[in-house]
Every structure is written in C-alpha cells, then in structure tokens.
C-alpha cells in the first residue's frame, strides 16, 4: 500500500479518529489509485451492524405498497440505510426473522399481516428490532405505525351522511385483518352516532383487490334497495366498485357515491376521480424508520404505537361536495 498501516487506512475511512492531513491525503490517493473498496462483510462482522433493513411485503399489485415502499426507501436512504426485500407470499416471514439472528439485517419492517409462528414469536419476545407499518397488530409486542383507521372510517361516515346519503354499503376485506375491521368499525360507529339503523348499512366481505370490489358492487346493486353510498376499505376495492358501476350503468355520483381509503395515485385519475382518506405515506415511513433506529439504539425503551390521522381527499365520486357543506337532499 502507500506507506501506512492498516489501522491508519481504517481511520481515514471512518473519519472518526484524527489523522494528519498529509497522511490522509496519501491514503486517499492510494485508495483512488488501487480503486479500493472496503469489504462489507468484514466490516459488518466487526461492527455488528449491517446497515441494512429488511422489508417484508406482499401484494405489490396493490399500488399502495409500491408507494409505501418508495417512501420507506427514501426514509432509509436519508439515514444511510439500505433495504432488502422479502415477499411474504413467496416465503412467509421466516427468512426475514432469521436474517436478524444471522446479522444480515439490523432490523425488519413488516408491511403485511404478520402470521404468528414459533420463529416469529421468538423474535418478538426476544425484543428484536421490528416495526410493523400499516397493519396494526395489537397483540404483537413491537413498535407500530398505522393510519388512525377508526377515525378515518368515522370521518367518511359523517361526510357522507351530512351530504344527504342515507343507505350505505361497505365493502370490506378479510374479517381478520385489522386495517379492514378498524375502518369498518369506525364507519359504522360514525353512522350509528348519527342515528342510522344498522340495517341500513349493508356489509359485503371480500379481499383487498379490484376484482373483489367489482363483485361486491354488483352484489350491492342487485339488492331490492341498493345503497346511495358505498365506503370501500381501500382504494383498490373502490376502483373495482367504480368499474362495476361503469359496466352496470350506475351513475357515479348521480346515483351512487363511492369513497375509498389510501389515496393511491390512480384515485386521482379521470377514470375514477375517487374521494378517499389519504394516508400520509412519507410521514408514516419516516416514523417507522425513526422507531426502528430508536429501538436499535435502546432495546429497552417502551413500545410505541403511532397513529396518523388520514386527510379526506374530496373528488368527483362524491360530487366533489365539500366536507362541511350544507346537507343536501339525496
């Protein structure tokens, strides 16, 4: 090399300790010349830090997830961290959990439902740095970031009612997924506070897909007294519902109002123009990274659950009617 010890090279690379200006220059020149790059594994082995965070996703076909992924990538990059991606549908959550123990990643984030399993349970109980984003899981002991789903559902209920809607449909996801149940429960609670009878809220369970929303709306509209407003627990379902309305010839918003949840990019496109509860994805991603780093720094700190209030985006699928506008007659 260029006349100095390994130690010194390490020092100029880390920048932590002091090195004479002249030596530093000499080392830098040598590095440049040899095109030297420090070995990641060796460094990770010594420091016990990989600089990498595991992200567990599923259903990338729901545009919400790529959008969240971009936000997470931005938040991680800002902290000099990188992400390794696992698809829970392909492999389950075991590989991610194992990766923590193997030192492959410093921590992981789940953006999906976390199925309980011995390995998963052991990781949580062992206090591994894990954050759950987007899907609240009250019974799992880890830091969490989620939308204030209940408040969001309630807000949409009030918005629809105050604008004259009286017969409601709600298109929900699988019965055991908290994002869906929280939004639905909030919605129903909001309506019930306004005096709407439970019978005037028709519920159809499906999954978080376009196809499910499509089928759900077809079913709703085939009822003797079809609803005049439908709340879909996510945007993808709502887009499916709007497509079904289009095919059935149901006028939106003339005959039916539709609202979603998430505010994915497509919700704003002319074909849909969907009123929806926006999740502040970047803020949520930033919070998730912050919580993960805090946990890594102090494994004993108290668990935190951060809820982000959604912002109502009013668009054409509810006639663009202002949230606080005077009640209109249906």
Partner DNA sequence: CTGAAAGCGCTTACAG
Query: CB under 5 to 8 A by kind: which of DNA, a copy of itself, none does 149 bind?
Result: none
Residue 237: closest CA among 176, 285, 174: 174
Query: CB under 5 to 8 A by kind: which of a copy of itself, DNA, none does 311 bind?
Result: none
Query: CB under 5 to 8 A by kind: which of a copy of itself, DNA, none does 313 bind?
Result: none
Give me the residues that bind a copy of itself (CB under 8 A), please.
35, 37-42, 44-45, 50, 52, 60-61, 63, 65-67, 69-70, 73-74, 77, 82-87, 90-91, 95, 98-99, 101-104, 122, 210, 214, 239-240, 242-244, 246-247, 265-266, 269-272
Distance, in Å, from the CA atom of 108 to the CA atom of 292, rounded to the nearest integer, reads 8
Q: Does 79 bind DNA (CB under 7 A)?
A: no
Distance, in Å, from the CA atom of 298 to the CA atom of 108, rounded to the nearest integer, reads 16
Number of residues this chain uses to bind DNA (CB under 7 A): 28
Among 14, 61, 192, 255, binds DNA (CB under 7 A): 14
Distance, in Å, from the CA atom of 239 to the CA atom of 330, rounded to the nearest integer, reads 23
Residue 280: closest CA among 79, 61, 71: 71
Distance, in Å, from the CA atom of 63 to the CA atom of 49, rounded to the nearest integer, reads 32
Under 8 Å CB-to-CB from 279, ≥6 apart: which residues?
Answer: 64, 134, 147, 261, 262, 263, 308, 310
Between residues 16 and 302, which has the closer beta carbon with respect to DNA?
16
Span near DNA by CB under 7 A; candidates 5-13, 156-164, 268-276, 294-302: 5-13
Between residues 42 and 90, which has the closer beta carbon with respect to DNA?
42
Query: CB under 5 to 8 A by kind: which of a copy of itself, DNA, none does 239 bind?
Result: a copy of itself
Tell me, rounded to whole angstroms, the distance of Cα 150 from its chain centroid.
16
Q: At closest approach, how far in Å is the CB of 34 from DNA?
A: 11
Q: CA quadruple 299, 302, 305, 306: dihedral positive or negative?
A: negative
Query: CB under 5 to 8 A by kind: which of a copy of itself, DNA, none does 20 bind?
Result: DNA
DSSP state at residue 199 = G
Distance, in Å, from the CA atom of 300 to the CA atom of 185, rounded to the nearest integer, reads 34
> End-to-end distance of the chain based on CA atoms, in angstroms?
81
Q: Does 7 bind DNA (CB under 7 A)?
A: yes
Under 8 Å CB-to-CB from 122, ≥6 apart: which residues?
Answer: 97
Q: Does 15 bind DNA (CB under 7 A)?
A: no
Q: Does 20 bind DNA (CB under 7 A)?
A: yes
Q: What residue ranges bind DNA (CB under 7 A)?
A: 3-11, 13-14, 16-20, 22-24, 36-39, 42-43, 45-47
């Amino acid at each position: 090399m260029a006349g100095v010890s390994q130690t010194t090279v390490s020092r100029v690379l880390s920048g932590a300790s002091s090195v004479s200006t002249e030596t530093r220059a000499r080392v830098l020149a040598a590095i440049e010349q040899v095109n030297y790059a420090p070995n990641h594994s060796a460094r990770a082995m010594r420091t016990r830090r990989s600089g990498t965070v595991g992200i567990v996703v599923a259903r990338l076909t729901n545009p919400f997830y790529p959008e969240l992924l971009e936000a997470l990538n931005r938040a991680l990059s800002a902290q000099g961290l990188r992400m390794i991606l696992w698809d829970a549908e392909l492999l389950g959550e075991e590989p991610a959990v194992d990766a923590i123990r193997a030192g492959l990643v410093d921590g992981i984030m789940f953006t999906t439902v976390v199925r309980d399993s011995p390995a998963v349970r052991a990781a949580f109980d062992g206090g591994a740095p894990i954050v759950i984003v987007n899907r609240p899981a009250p019974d799992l002991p880890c830091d969490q970031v989620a939308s204030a789903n209940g408040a969001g559902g309630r807000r949409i209920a009030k918005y629809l009612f105050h604008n004259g809607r009286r017969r409601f449909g709600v298109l929900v996801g699988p019965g055991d997924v908290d994002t869906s149940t929280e939004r639905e429960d909030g919605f129903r609670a909001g309506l019930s506070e306004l005096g709407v009878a439970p019978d005037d809220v028709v519920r159809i369970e499906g999954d978080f897909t376009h196809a499910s929303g499509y089928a759900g709306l077809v079913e709703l509209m085939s009822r003797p007294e079809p609803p005049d407003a439908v709340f879909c627990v996510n945007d993808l379902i709502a887009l499916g519902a709007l497509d079904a309305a289009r095919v059935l010839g149901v006028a939106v918003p003339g005959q039916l109002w539709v609202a979603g949840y998430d505010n994915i990019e497509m919700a704003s496109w002319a074909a849909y123009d969907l009123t929806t509860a926006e999740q502040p994805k970047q803020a949520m991603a930033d919070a998730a990274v912050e919580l993960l780093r805090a946990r890594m720094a102090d494994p004993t700190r108290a668990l935190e659950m951060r809820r982000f209030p959604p912002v109502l985006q009013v668009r054409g699928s509810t006639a663009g009617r202002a949230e606080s506008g005077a009640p209109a007659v249906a």
